[in-house]
Amino acid sequence: MTDASPTRLDRRKARTRAALIHAAQTFIAEGRTNTAILDLTQAADVGMGSFYNHFSSKDELFRAAVEDALDRHGAALDELTRDMTDPAEVFAYSFRLTGRLHRRRPQLSKVLINTGLSIATSEHGIAPRVRRDIQAGIRAGRFTVADPELAFTIAAGTALCLGQLLHTQPDRDDAQATDQITEDLLRTFGVPTDEAHQISRRPLPDLDRLLPDAIA
């Protein structure tokens, strides 16, 4: 039988694992994915040998690092949209929050961007949630789209490229750009023009309060 309560030993193990994952995310965000294992362990301030206590290859660590980033972001979105009902609003809200995240959590954002399009097919993170929201919007009659998967493709690709844009043009107003694109997407999904505009400008909560702890 497994002991449920995490002991101090468990916490220590989890700490070094987290340190390795965090270091890996730093490297991914910088696009340096072919670093030596020794570099990773040094960045994590962990002994070289510890690496193989947690991962059997560099690839495995990087996969875990991406998965961790996706799960964090997904969990944050779930938390923030918990008590919303209108699917169109949930979608818009998630998209607007994600757009605002690129500047506020640059490392997380860059991990997503550098990981590339494969995250669109991942079971973790944003992709399944966006799919779910689009499906819900269709069922509720809020969205009118020919093919849900195509709608998802547009939303996912746009979200990623928007993140790239916000990093490339640091002077651009991220909130304004994100809301504008959200409005465009809602219209593409069949939401009436005026309503799309309205939904995409609704006030958002104080992000500094709601996203207090995230990676880096």
Chain residues binding a second copy by CB under 8 A are: 33-34, 113-114, 116-118, 120-121, 146-147, 149-150, 153-154, 156-165, 168-169, 177, 180-181, 184, 187-188
CB of 108 to DNA, least distance (A): 24
Cβ-based nearer residue to DNA, 7 or 168: 7
Cβ-based nearer residue to a second copy, 137 or 163: 163
Cβ-based nearer residue to DNA, 13 or 124: 13
CB of 180 to a second copy, least distance (A): 6
Closest listed residue to residue 162, CA positions, set 137, 185, 135: 185
| Helix (H), strand (E) at residue 91 | helix 87-104
Per partner kind, with CB cut-offs from 5 to 8 A, the member of DNA, a second copy, none near residue 135 is: none
CB of 58 to DNA, least distance (A): 6
Burial class (CB in 10 A: 0-12, 13-18, 19+), 42: middle
Cβ-based nearer residue to DNA, 51 or 91: 51
Per partner kind, with CB cut-offs from 5 to 8 A, the member of DNA, a second copy, none near residue 53 is: DNA
E-strand ranges in 65-190 read none
Cβ-based nearer residue to a second copy, 16 or 182: 182
Show Cβ contacts of residue 98 under 8 Å, excluding neighbours closer than 6 positions: 73, 77, 126, 159, 178
Show Cβ contacts of residue 97 under 8 Å, excluding neighbours closer than 6 positions: 76, 77, 80, 204, 207
Footprint on this chain of DNA (rule: CB under 7 A): 7-10, 12-13, 15-17, 36-38, 46-54, 57-58
How far apart (Å, rounded) are the C-alpha atoms in residues 21 and 13? 12
Residue with tokens 């207090």: 212
Do the Cβ atoms of 167 and 109 come closer than 8 Å?
yes
CB of 92 to a second copy, least distance (A): 15
